[in-house]
Amino acid sequence: HERELLAYRELSAETLDGFRLALRGNVELADEVPLAISQGAEGIGLYRSEFLYMNRPLPPSEEEQLQAYRDILAKMAPHPVTIRTLDVGGDKFVPEINLADEANPAMGLRAVRFSLKERRLFKIQLRAILRASAHGRVRVMFPMISGVAEIRACKVLLEEAKAELVAEEIPFNAAISVGIMIETPSAALIAGLLAREVDFFSVGTNDLIQYCLAVDRGNEHVAYLYEPLHPAILRALKMICDAGREAGIEVGMCGEMAADPLYSLVLLGLGFDELSMNAPGIPRVKRILRQLRRSEGVAILDEIFGFATAREVAEYLEIEMARRF
Ligand code: PEP
Ligand code: MG
Each residue of 53-79: pLDDT tens digit? Answer: 988 888 999 999 999 999 999 999 999
Judge whether 254 counts as a catalytic residue: yes
Nearest one of 245, 241, 252 to 181, comparing CA atoms:
252
How many angstroms separate the CA atoms of 75 and 37, rounded? Answer: 9
What pLDDT score does 94 carry? 67
The pLDDT mean for the chain works out to 95
| Ligand 1 probe mutation, 183, 201, 274, most atoms within 8 A of CB | 183
pLDDT (average), residues 16-31: 97
Note whether 290 and 234 are within 8 A (CB).
Answer: no
Residue nearest to ligand 1 atom 1, measured at CA: 204
Give the rounded percent of residues in the chain with a pLDDT score beyond 70: 97
- Shortest CA distance to 213 belongs to which of 234, 238, 233, 239? 233
**From CA 85, how far away is CA 243, in angstroms rounded?**
24
For the whole prediction, is pTM greater than 0.80? yes
Band of pLDDT at residue 118, cut at 50, 70 and 90:
very high
State the pLDDT at residue 102. Answer: 85
Is the predicted pLDDT of residue 49 greater than 70, yes or no? Answer: yes
CB count in 10 Å sphere of residue 88: 22
Give me the interface pTM, i.e. the ipTM: 0.99
| pLDDT (average), residues 112-140 | 97
- To the question of whether residue 183 is assigned a binding role by annotation, the answer is yes
| 324 alpha carbon – ligand 1 mean position (Å) | 31
Identify the pLDDT of residue 2. Answer: 72
Pocket test for ligand 1, best of 48, 201, 240 (most atoms within 8 A of CB): 48
Q: What mean pLDDT do residues 281-306 have?
A: 97
Residue 130 or 6, more confident: 130
- Residues 172 and 126: beta-carbon distance below 8 Å: no
106-115, 189-198, 222-231: range with lowest mean pLDDT: 106-115
Please tell me if the CB atom of residue 206 comes closer than 6 angstroms to any atom of ligand 1: yes
Atom of ligand 1 nearest to the CA of 207: 2
User: Residues 6 or more apart from 122 whose CB is under 8 A from it?
Assistant: 85, 86, 115, 116, 157
CB 240 within 8 A of CB 191: yes
**Gap from CA of 255 to ligand 1 centroid (Å):** 5
Q: Say if residues 132 and 73 touch (Cβ distance below 8 Å).
A: yes
Angle, helices 119-132 vs 62-76, to 10°: value is 40
